[in-house]
Amino acid sequence: MNLTVTYFDHPLHIAISPAASSMLEKTKTALQVDARLYFGCLAKKAVIFNEAFAPKPAYMINSKLYVRYQSLISDGCKIDSSETHYRPTPKPMGSLYWLEIDYRKGQWMGDFGFEDKLTAQDHEKTTLQPDFSW
């Protein structure tokens, strides 16, 4: 399933694999997808999936899917430390443009970016509603 929504005044193209779509239909709770861009000694990105939905500020795509983008900066530069603490950047860095969601081997997987990876004709224009029919 491919769809385009308006995410904070910008288009967000979401590609959901058939396996992920099927899994979303089966879940009883909503899935929150956090797309995070980390800045520290190096820049890295991560997609975090939270099936035990905790009410965090997130954008509702439909009743089963919430999305949030965060740009975070580290409090220091310790390459050898796994205990780096991050806080939100003073201003959001970039605008989320595309998001891919998949479900493989019992795990949620995803990727995101800030440029046009998918063409507009690959998406169906969708108006945000409280509930989609999956």
For 31-74, the pLDDT digits (tens) are 999 999 888 777 888 999 988 766 567 888 888 999 999 888 88
- 66 CB burial (10 A radius; 0-12, 13-18, 19+): buried
Q: Residue 100: pLDDT band by 50, 70, 90 thresholds?
A: very high
Whole-prediction pTM: 0.76
Instruction: Return the pLDDT at 134.
Output: 37
Is pLDDT above 80 for 128?
no
- Does position 15 have pLDDT exceeding 90, yes or no? yes
User: Starting from the edge strand earliest in sequence, which strands make up the sheet with 107-113, in order?
Assistant: 107-113, 98-104, 10-16, 2-7, 124-125
- What is the distance between the alpha carbons of residues 108 and 57, in angstroms, rounded to a whole number? 21
